[in-house]
């Protein structure tokens, strides 16, 4: 792959900038909340002079966030949070048209991926913005010399939040982080409707399979799993859910799905998709039990939910019938198809979550960046929730942008809710 490198950026092809610009504008049409924030940031400059390193999926939606942060006065360097999720044209436009140094090439290998994180860190960040916590982990492991200048950070995704909480528990986390994922206006929409739709999009783009009548096994019934199960069912699939958490399993049962251990589901699965955030969810024994032609994919953050080493070990032959499909002939004579090398299917084979949900996720990111820039001195070194007033402001702005009005409590209702005297009448 020929790419263009310089100290200030590393993108596949800077001449793709005009195409990237069109994609950024197209996504921007569906991001009215972020647009409002950008207009205010242009006036108020709440991030004036703040050095920021962002490790995010480099998509047209992220570009709208990056432009907003810059409009607020931030000096931002951006790198990818996954080797396969970069939209090369967008990376080119950010670098060329928006003056945001970007280090991201779709298909980059692991060494280059981590090299790009180091390049983003060259900004000597005061604020970090992460999706999966690779940037924060690299800072703490290899660039401790930079830690004293970091004031605070934000984290986008469930997996990153779990990782950062583990760091905080170990006493390792050296600056406060706001868990953007925990905002209701993030995970109820982005994780559920975003992952639900874009995973199906990735599955269809990669394979063009018909979902109607297929048995689709969804591993994990968190917000992403809930969204994915409902979208697969909506397309006529017979959905089976696997879970380790009894409450979530029960919820899946009462939502109308069959629930069973993956070992039992494996022989009848046409398609298996992991969305758990854990390792080796699809393990050797499951692979051995799959029927001929089973399709396996992952939409969790990291590419370790499917035991690819075991799959390789069981394989006698691997072919690539289509982009994003690797077909493994197993020693038992069956073939198992893995999509997008087990990496985030929705971002590798499709374009990630649609802009309309990223609007809310990234509105939270922008407002939390402003919040930590202002309040870092009073925040403890741990993982914090998004302030509820930011969360409800995002919901309010989104409803307004959608032209939807809602009721307000009367004075009588307000006082009723704060009193205990009246009960059964
Ligand atoms: N995460 C999931 N979908 C995304 C998108 N479209 N842009 C950035 N991050 C994402």
Is 411 within the bounds of a domain? no
Indicate whether 219 pLDDT > 70. Answer: yes
Is 422 within the bounds of a domain? no
Q: Are residues 336 and 365 in the same domain?
A: no
Phi, then psi, of 277 in degrees rounded to 5: 80, 10
Q: Provide mean pLDDT across the span 131-148.
A: 96
Query: Taking Cα atoms as reference points, which of 206, 170, 185 lies closest to residue 298?
Result: 206
Predicted local distance difference test score (pLDDT) of residue 7: 65
Is 112 within the bounds of a domain? yes
Q: Provide mean pLDDT across the span 283-293.
A: 98
Ligand 1 pocket, 186 CB below 6 A?
A: no
Q: Are residues 283 and 366 in the same domain?
A: no
Is 425 within the bounds of a domain? no
| Model confidence, pTM | 0.94
Distance CA 226, CA 355 (A): 20
Q: Provide mean pLDDT across the span 194-218.
A: 98
Q: Are residues 292 and 236 in the same domain?
A: yes
Q: Are residues 15 and 92 in the same domain?
A: yes
Q: Which parts of 99-236 fold into alpha helices (H)?
A: 110-121, 134-142, 158-169, 184-186, 195-207, 223-234
Q: Are residues 30 and 48 in the same domain?
A: yes
Give pLDDT tens digits for 168-195.
999 999 999 999 999 999 999 999 999 9
Q: Measure 245 CA to ligand 1 centroid, in angstroms.
A: 27
Q: For residue 2, name the pLDDT band (cuts at 50, 70, 90).
A: very low
Q: Are residues 97 and 48 in the same domain?
A: yes
Is 417 within the bounds of a domain? no
Is 116 within the bounds of a domain? yes
More confident residue, 3 or 307: 307
Is 257 within the bounds of a domain? yes
Ligand 1 pocket, 62 CB below 6 A?
A: yes
Q: The CATH number of the domain where 278 resides is what?
A: 3.40.50.720
**Cα separations (Å) of 420 from 260, 423, 424?**
45, 8, 11
Contact 240, 204 (CB under 8 A): no
Give pLDDT tens digits for 113-128.
999 999 999 999 999 9
Q: Are residues 334 and 358 in the same domain?
A: no
Ligand 1 pocket, 112 CB below 6 A?
A: no
Q: Residue 316: give the domain boundaries.
A: 193-348
Contact 342, 127 (CB under 8 A): no
Q: Are residues 47 and 127 in the same domain?
A: yes
Q: The CATH number of the domain where 25 resides is what?
A: 3.40.50.1480
Number of structural domains in the chain: 2
Q: Measure 213 CA to ligand 1 centroid, in angstroms.
A: 29
Q: Are residues 81 and 37 in the same domain?
A: yes
Query: Taking Cα atoms as reference points, which of 405, 404, 402 lies closest to residue 30?
Result: 402
Q: Are residues 151 and 229 in the same domain?
A: no
Q: Which of 361, 362, 363, 366 to mutate to test the pocket of ligand 1 (most atoms within 8 A of CB)?
A: 361
Question: If 0-12 CB within 10 Å is exposed, 13-18 middle and 19+ buried, where does residue 292 land?
Answer: exposed
Q: Which of 106, 194, 227 to mutate to test the pocket of ligand 1 (most atoms within 8 A of CB)?
A: 194
Ligand 1 pocket, 61 CB below 6 A?
A: yes
Q: Residues near 7 by Cβ (< 8 Å), separated by ≥ 6?
A: none
Ligand 1 pocket, 348 CB below 6 A?
A: no
Distance CA 326, CA 356 (A): 32
Q: Provide mean pLDDT across the span 408-421.
A: 94
Q: Are residues 151 and 77 in the same domain?
A: yes
Displacement of CA 200 from its chain's centroid (Å): 15
Predicted local distance difference test score (pLDDT) of residue 5: 47
Give pLDDT tens digits for 390-409.
999 999 999 999 999 999 99
Q: Are residues 250 and 269 in the same domain?
A: yes
What radius of gyration do the chain's Cα atoms show? Answer: 22
């Amino acid at each position: 792959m020929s790419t263009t490198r310089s100290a200030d950026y590393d993108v596949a092809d800077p001449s793709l900038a005009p195409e990237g610009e069109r994609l950024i504008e197209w996504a921007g049409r569906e991001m009215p909340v972020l647009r409002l924030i950008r207009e205010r940031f242009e006036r108020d400059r709440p991030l004036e002079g703040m050095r920021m390193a962002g490790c995010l999926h480099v998509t047209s939606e992220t570009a709208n966030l990056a432009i907003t942060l810059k409009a607020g006065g931030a000096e931002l360097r951006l790198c990818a949070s996954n080797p396969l999720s970069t939209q090369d044209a967008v990376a080119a436009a950010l670098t060329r048209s928006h003056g945001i140094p970007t280090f991201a090439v779709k298909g980059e290998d692991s060494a280059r991926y981590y090299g790009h994180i180091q390049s983003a860190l060259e900004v000597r960040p005061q604020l970090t913005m992460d999706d999966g916590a690779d940037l924060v982990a690299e800072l703490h492991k290899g660039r401790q010399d930079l830690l004293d200048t970091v004031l605070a950070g934000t984290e986008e995704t469930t997996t990153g939040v779990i990782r950062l909480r583990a760091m905080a528990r170990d006493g390792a986390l050296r600056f406060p982080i706001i868990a953007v994922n925990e905002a209701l206006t993030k995970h109820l929409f982005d994780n559920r409707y975003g992952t639900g739709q874009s995973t199906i999009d990735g599955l269809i783009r990669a394979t063009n399979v018909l979902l109607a009548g297929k048995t689709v096994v969804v591993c994990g019934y968190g917000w992403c799993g809930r969204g994915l199960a409902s979208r697969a069912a909506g397309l006529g699939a017979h959905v089976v859910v696997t879970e380790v958490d009894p409450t979530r399993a029960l919820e899946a049962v009462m939502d109308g799905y069959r629930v069973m251990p993956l070992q039992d589901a494996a022989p009848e699965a046409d398609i298996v998709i992991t969305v758990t955030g854990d390792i080796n969810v699809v393990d050797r024994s499951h692979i051995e039990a799959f029927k001929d032609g089973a399709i396996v994919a992952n939409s969790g953050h990291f590419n370790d939910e499917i035991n690819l080493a075991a799959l390789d070990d069981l394989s006698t032959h691997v072919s690539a019938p289509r982009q994003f499909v690797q077909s493994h002939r197993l020693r038992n004579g069956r073939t198992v198809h893995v999509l997008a090398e087990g990496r985030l299917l929705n971002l590798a084979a499709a374009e990630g979550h649609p802009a309309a949900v990223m609007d809310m996720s990234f509105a939270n990111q922008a407002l939390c960046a402003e919040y930590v820039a202002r309040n870092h001195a009073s925040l403890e070194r741990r993982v914090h929730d998004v302030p509820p007033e930011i969360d409800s402001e995002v919901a309010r702005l989104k409803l307004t942008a959608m032209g939807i009005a809602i009721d307000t409590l009367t004075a009588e209702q307000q006082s009723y809710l704060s009193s205990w005297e009246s009960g059964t009448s």
